[in-house]
Amino acid sequence: RTVYVNGQFVPEGEAKVSVFDRGFLFADGVYEVTSVLGGKLIDFDGHATRLERSLRELDMKAPVDKDELLAVHRELVEINSIEDGMIYLQITRGAPADRDFAYPAADVEPTIVLFTQNKPGLADSPAAKVGIKVISIEDQRWGRRDIKTVQLLYPSMGKMMAKAAGADDAWMVEDGKVTEGTSNNAYIVKDGTIITRDLGTEILHGITRAAVLRFAREAQMKVEERGFTLEEAKNADEAFITSASTFVMPVVEMDGQKIGTGEPGPVAKRLREIYLEESRKAAT
């Protein structure tokens, strides 16, 4: 596989990042994951715009502009012959001469890395047909979850807790309300209304979330953006998650209890179809 590191396309075995890189030492970096379907990028503009925001919020320099970024994405898809898969992009505050909590001087260049992950048949995931199981855990992440940082240890622990419980993912709960999944936004459906956490610093502003809510409203579905409790989730008619890599994925069980019929619900199935169809049409 060919990867991109600081302006160069190199075989993955030859890519190098310094041990002093602040991404490595302080998780001082941001990332994006863009999916590829049929060799085309899904919502590149949304991801590039959120990346700019994450960088701005952290006073971090952008090493490339949007056009260059798009060119690098396309080149990697091409070189690695990706039909369906993902592109991972990470930018860190670079590698100063020594480890220091203070941000380095402005002449330290950021580090930028991109690589592809080949996932043939990404859109026909068998999990989407049966739905996934989630458990609930306390949300113990930091307070700026709207910034897409590479600080992913707690979500990673959450994923392990889910696996240990025989589930697929964890929904995190803060002050009695669900925030989001470990790497996705969380939704329930009650009496035809789609309910998902409102935007704030408590959750990541999902690019898939924005698209799905737009499609839902265009299809005259009712949407409520507000926090919901675990109790509401357990008594919901259906539930689902969204993310760039899972699109719309039904959730059929929460803490060992069936949600609705225990099978993927009609709203989740319909939104998945609409999302995939519209995103493929708009893909670049």
Q: Which residues bind ligand PMP (CB under 6 A)?
A: 33, 180, 183-185, 204, 206-209, 242-244
State which residue, 69 or 244, has the beta carbon closest to ligand PMP. 244
Q: Which amino acid, 38?
A: G
Per the residue annotation, which of 16, 129, 133, 148 is the catalytic one? 148
Helix ranges, 30-93 (H): 44-57, 66-79
Instruction: Please state the closest distance from residue 62 (CB atom) to ligand PMP, in A.
Output: 18
**Other beta carbons less than 10 A from residue 243's beta carbon:** 21
Q: What's the residue count for the chain? A: 284
Question: 7: phi > 0 → left, psi -120 to 50 → alpha, else beta; which?
Answer: left
Pairwise CA distance, residues 96 & 198, whole Å: 38
Structure tokens at 34: 């863009």
Structure tokens at 172: 């995190």
**Other beta carbons less than 10 A from residue 181's beta carbon:** 27
Pairwise CA distance, residues 150 & 152, whole Å: 6
Question: 11: phi > 0 → left, psi -120 to 50 → alpha, else beta; which?
Answer: beta
State which residue, 178 or 204, has the beta carbon closest to ligand PMP. 204
Is residue 162 within 8 Å of 206, Cβ to Cβ? no
Instruction: Please state the closest distance from residue 266 (CB atom) to ligand PMP, in A.
Output: 22
Instruction: Tell me, yes or no, if 148 is annotated catalytic.
Output: yes
Q: What are phi and psi of 181, to 5 degrees?
A: -80, 175
Is residue 225 within 8 Å of 238, Cβ to Cβ? no
State which residue, 178 or 252, has the beta carbon closest to ligand PMP. 178
Dmax over CA atoms of the chain, in Å, equals 58
Active site residues: 148
